[in-house]
Amino acid sequence: MNRRVAPLLAASTLLLVAACAVPTDSEIADTSLLTGFQSSPVAFNNVLSTFAAGPSADSTPWGPPGRPGRRGGHHGPMGPGGPGRPGGPFMMGGGLGGPFMGLGFGPGFGHRPPHEGAPFANCDFNAASGRVECAAEDRHGLTILRSASFKDAAGATQTAFDSAATNTINTRIAVSGTMTRRDGATSVVNHQSDRTVSGLATGSAQRTVNGTSSGGETTNGTDATGSFTLVRQAGDTVSGVVIPIADGRPSFPAGGTVVRSMRVVVTYSGQSPTTSTRREVITYDGSNTAKIVITQDGTTKNCTLPLPHGRISCS
């Protein structure tokens, strides 16, 4: 594989979208659920989504919210913008990746951590499916399946990535399995993503991103309160997001929309479930400000996000 593949692939799928969780701690229906929104589901960093997640998210499920002597939960990494002032807005799902803020592209391409090498370098082309398919990968009790299709500007299928001629990449990733935490709790994981990025060929003036992701994490365990079940669901839809190419400087999205959502449920044995939901709709209109409509447990706020280095502001 051409050694230029990693940075070009990075440009095509590390296109993460900015969005925030507007309500403050006191506005969330049950503050015990707060930490459930501060990170993405465990191992969600292995699929292509707009939720930021660092390497620790690969092996650390969300913890029970009421463990003795602890605030509880796995906070996860915070993306650009950070958690904000105490009690104020924070970035949902662990934060956001830099590219949708205009912070430039990095290695990794979203398929696997950057230190593990170029994605699809050791995968085989399947003529029947027209896709490059990778052998199943086992990690922390999870099975990860990856495949991709490569096409030139005319739409012809390619058997491998070509740094000059590949124009469109479709990537599909699935993650499933069971993880056991050090405290004995078990988490069942089921994630998928399907993303298409076009405009990769040499000379292209912009890249266009479309795709979906969905993820689920169900944890069962016991703490001082009793037996519990914790459920987190996350997903997004990226529609026609356009990233202009600007050599030597970052470029932020010039068009398109992103819809992100999360749902957190905590149930202790013998008690009623406690649930909180959050939805974010992000619109890029060509200006240097993204428009965001956020609905938290039925309450809607209109927000703006200055690009490329701003913080969320809501009315």
pLDDT digits over 109-120, tens only? 333 333 334 668
Looking at residue 101, its pLDDT comes to 73
The mean pLDDT of 91-102, rounded to a whole number, is 72
At 12, the pLDDT band (50, 70, 90 cuts) reads very low
Position 220 pLDDT exceeds 90: yes
The mean pLDDT of 130-147, rounded to a whole number, is 94
Note whether 259 and 237 are within 8 A (CB).
yes
* Tokens coding 224: 């001082």
In the block, residue with structure tokens 């913080």: 311
Cα angle value 39/43/45 (rounded, 5°):
75
Q: What share of the chain is helix, strand, coil (3-state, %, to 5)?
A: 10, 40, 50
Looking at residue 192, its pLDDT comes to 98
Q: What is the DSSP letter of 192?
A: E
Instruction: Report how far Cα 230 is from the mean position of its chain's Cα atoms.
Output: 20
Mean pLDDT, the chain, integer: 77
Of 11-15, 62-66, 230-234, highest mean pLDDT: 230-234
- What is the pTM (predicted TM-score) of this model? 0.82
Looking at residue 114, its pLDDT comes to 34
Identify the residue with better confidence: 103 or 306: 306
Please give the helix or strand (H or E) that residue 7 lies within, else none.
helix 5-13
Range with the lowest mean pLDDT among 63-72, 134-143, 279-288, 298-307?
63-72
Note whether 110 and 99 are within 8 A (CB).
no
Position 62 pLDDT exceeds 70: yes
Note whether 280 and 314 are within 8 A (CB).
no
